[in-house]
């Protein structure tokens, strides 16, 4: 039996906490990668993992990604993440989230949770009845907080525009074809903003009805799930799940730009080189998708109002440009450049 220490994704994580609550059926893993810059912050993902090893791998990768993301967003936060191992129907209950909240509280602030795939604001409200270490809660109009999805979408959209400027020399996405993987919270915000600026949208989601609804709203078209990554377009924006950029999928890409909000898009660091060698401009995921955590952090740390959050998100394009410039001068791929910058910031450079 492989221990968490032996997983290739284990990177001296400070805490890996396994949670079982027999009364509610809760099975979860909380991983804190680094608290060098502050409490380990990152959302909770509720997902059906065919085997438990997949869940361990996911939480190790995602929590390290949060350390990098928070550091690169200039936040006083470390990196952490939680996964809830759901059944195939992804059944959830208030009692399950109450038990999860108690386990977060038990870590005494080393980990601060928020939303991720499968976890909604009402779920977090239940969590917040049992722990203070939670963000992404409903707030009164005008206050900072709430669902991070729209903020992530805003940052991803600005990142797409920066990539379009840098790679295609265009100041707008008007008339460009954007292929979007996913039709959830992040994808829908990206699709709406891009369509509003005049882009043509193609999208795919394993939830066909969700995909159709979004396509109808933005005047786009739905394409089969297995075709979205090989579509000829100006931008591929992955906004569903991770590890979608493999040697095989990269070889089949027909876009000059990959820029989207999904976490951990590269299956392994080696794919960062492959996509670079193909001359495709890649926006490192945890840099372009930091809008949500910027909002969550500002709510939790209470150090910015709505205008301040917007201004912080608007720094994402500049960060991407710094990474692409260093990539140009050193020849290293943008993902490797971003990782090295992030590791220096968390004291592991």
Binding mask 85-124 for ligand NAD (x = CB under 6 A): ------------------------------xxx-------
Q: Are residues 200 and 177 in contact, defined by beta-carbon separation less than 8 angstroms? A: yes
Indicate whether 207 belongs to the interface with ligand NAD (CB under 6 A). Answer: yes
Q: Please check if 195 is assigned to a binding site.
A: no
Q: Please check if 279 is assigned to a binding site.
A: no
Q: Please check if 185 is assigned to a binding site.
A: yes
Query: Which of 14, 285 has the CB closer to ligand NAD?
Result: 285
Indicate whether 65 belongs to the interface with ligand NAD (CB under 6 A). Answer: no
- E strands, the chain, where? 15-21, 26-34, 40-41, 44-47, 78-85, 111-112, 177-181, 200-204, 221-222, 235-238, 257-258, 281-282
Indicate whether 199 belongs to the interface with ligand NAD (CB under 6 A). Answer: no
Choose the catalytic residue: 27, 81, 92, 110. 81
Task: Output the smallest distance, CB 341 to ligand NAD, in A.
Answer: 19
Examine the residue annotation and report whether 167 is marked as an active-site residue of this protein: no
Q: Identify the residue among 205, 234, 299, 339 touching ligand NAD (CB under 6 A).
A: 205
Nearest to 289 by CA among 150, 169, 164, 192: 150
- Please give the backbone phi and psi of residue 146, each rounded to the nearest 5 degrees, phi first: 80, -165
Indicate whether 284 belongs to the interface with ligand NAD (CB under 6 A). Answer: no
Indicate whether 134 belongs to the interface with ligand NAD (CB under 6 A). Answer: no
Q: Please check if 251 is assigned to a binding site.
A: no
Nearest to 180 by CA among 141, 146, 210, 139: 210
Indicate whether 234 belongs to the interface with ligand NAD (CB under 6 A). Answer: no
Sign of torsion over alpha carbons 302, 287, 34, 14 = positive
SS3 of 90, please? coil
Which residues carry a binding-site annotation for NAD(+)?
182-187
**Which residues are the active-site residues?**
81
């Amino acid at each position: 039996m492989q221990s968490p220490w032996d997983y290739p994704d284990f990177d001296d994580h400070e805490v890996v906490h396994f949670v079982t609550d027999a009364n509610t059926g809760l099975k979860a893993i909380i991983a804190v990668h680094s608290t060098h810059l502050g409490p380990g912050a990152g959302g909770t993902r509720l997902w059906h993992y065919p085997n438990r090893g997949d869940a361990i791998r996911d939480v190790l990768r995602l929590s390290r990604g949060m350390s990098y993301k928070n550091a690169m967003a200039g936040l006083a936060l470390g990196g952490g993440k939680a996964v809830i191992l759901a059944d195939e129907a992804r059944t959830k209950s208030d009692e399950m989230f109450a038990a999860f909240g108690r386990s977060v509280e038990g870590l005494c602030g080393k980990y601060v949770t928020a939303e991720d795939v499968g976890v909604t604001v009402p779920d977090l409200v239940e969590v917040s009845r049992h722990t203070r270490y939670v963000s992404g809660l409903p707030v009164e109009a005008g206050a900072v907080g709430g669902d991070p999805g729209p903020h992530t979408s805003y940052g991803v959209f600005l990142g797409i525009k920066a990539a379009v400027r840098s790679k295609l020399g265009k100041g707008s996405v008007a008339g460009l074809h954007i292929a979007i993987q996913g039709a959830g919270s992040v994808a829908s915000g990206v699709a709406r903003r891009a369509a509003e600026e005049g882009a043509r949208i193609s999208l795919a989601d394993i939830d066909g009805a969700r995909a159709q609804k979004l396509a109808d709203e933005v005047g786009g078209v739905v394409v089969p799930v297995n075709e979205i990554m090989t579509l000829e377009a100006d931008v591929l924006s992955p906004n569903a799940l991770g590890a979608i950029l493999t040697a095989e999928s990269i070889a089949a890409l027909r876009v000059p730009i990959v820029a989207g909000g999904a976490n951990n898009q590269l299956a392994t660091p080696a794919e960062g080189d492959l996509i670079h060698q193909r001359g495709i401009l890649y926006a490192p995921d945890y840099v372009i998708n930091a809008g949500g955590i910027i909002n969550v952090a500002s709510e939790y740390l209470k150090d910015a109002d709505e205008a301040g959050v917007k201004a912080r998100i608007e720094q994402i394009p500049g960060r991407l440009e710094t990474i692409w410039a260093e990539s140009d001068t050193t020849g290293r791929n943008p993902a490797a450049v971003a990782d090295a910058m992030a590791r220096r910031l968390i004291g592991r450079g």
